[in-house]
């Protein structure tokens, strides 16, 4: 895909600082760890390879407002693959504009990454989904009313989430899950992710609307970063952790603490999945 956007000046400055502190001038893959995923960063790196920097010490990053977002940037190797991981993201509902939301995508391009891996916590909309499921995003609905693009920047989103990288990620996650369970290989399902503006959770009526529109998952992130990344020429693969069943599915109230609890309960499993996914995506 043509590069319609260039990394911002702040992203280039952040990349230069990361290179200086980590002694790595290039990273093959960039990763954003969303709600419920931040603890993965502690076990993701090959031993002795991680250099962690407070995000607030790097140009363009702001301290995440949502609970469960560490606010750190780590340069490391994962099975020998240079990875830049951002633990914690900025959301549209924080009112800071789209710039900080998509800054990690610009930094990913600035450090030379070819692929951006996005993770998030999501509400499951399908009856066959359970808390703890991993789902690869195959497409999205941008219902935030916002775009990170301005002007005549016509980004093609036909394959917003790379089919090739999705296939590699599915094989990798399936193998990791099988090894952990000592069972038969099970590839993760795919689904359509609906991005809502938040920060309030959706009403049961809104969930019925989203199901009618064809959504399988709902959350408050990921889509702006994907749009920016595609404009920057990056390939994108995104993984949702189902941390709750959406409003009206069970009749129970929703709470952010259950999102964090689901991630904490499965942190070892999520780490294993990403340790398999990152090198698979880099080598696909």
Residues assigned a catalytic role = 35, 69, 91, 93-94, 121, 220-221, 244, 256
| Residue 198 in tokens | 């938040």
Bridge partners for 122 per DSSP:
242
CA 274 to chain centre: 11
CA–CA dist 111, 123 (Å, integer): 32
Is the CB of residue 114 less than 8 Å from the CB of residue 233? Answer: no
Q: 132-162 as b/e, with b when 16 or more CB fall inside 10 Å?
A: ebbbbbbbbbbbbebebbeeeeebeeebbbb
Residue whose entry in the numeric block shows the structure tokens 């090959």: 46
d(C-alpha 111, C-alpha 250), whole Å: 43
Query: In angstroms, what is the C-alpha Rg of the chain?
Result: 17
């Amino acid at each position: 895909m043509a590069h319609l956007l260039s990394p911002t000046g702040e992203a280039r400055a952040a990349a230069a600082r990361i290179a200086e502190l980590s002694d790595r001038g290039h990273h093959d893959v960039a990763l954003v760890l969303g709600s419920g995923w931040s603890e993965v960063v502690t076990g993701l790196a090959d031993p002795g390879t991680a250099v962690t920097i407070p995000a607030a010490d790097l140009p363009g990053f702001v301290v995440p407002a949502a609970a469960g977002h560490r606010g750190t940037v780590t340069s490391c190797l994962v099975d020998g693959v240079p990875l830049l991981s951002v633990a914690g993201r900025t959301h549209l509902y924080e009112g800071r504009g789209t710039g900080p939301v998509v800054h990690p995508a610009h930094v990913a391009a600035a450090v030379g990454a070819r692929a951006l891996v996005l993770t998030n916590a999501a509400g499951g909309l399908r009856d066959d989904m359970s808390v703890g499921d991993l789902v690869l995003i195959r497409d999205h609905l941008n219902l935030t009313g916002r775009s990170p693009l301005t002007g005549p920047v016509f980004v093609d989103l036909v394959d917003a989430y790379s089919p090739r990288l999705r296939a590699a990620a599915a094989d990798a996650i399936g193998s990791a899950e099988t090894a952990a369970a000592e069972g038969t290989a099970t590839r993760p399902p795919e689904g359509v992710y609906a991005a809502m503006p938040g920060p309030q959770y959706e009403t049961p009526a809104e969930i019925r609307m989203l199901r009618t529109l064809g959504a399988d998952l709902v959350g408050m992130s990921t889509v702006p970063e994907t749009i920016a990344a595609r404009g920057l020429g990056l390939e994108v693969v995104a993984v949702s952790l189902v941390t709750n069943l959406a409003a009206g599915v069970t009749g129970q109230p929703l709470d952010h603490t259950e999102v964090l609890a689901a991630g904490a309960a499965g942190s070892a499993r999520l780490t294993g999945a990403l340790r398999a996914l990152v090198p698979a995506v880099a080598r696909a």
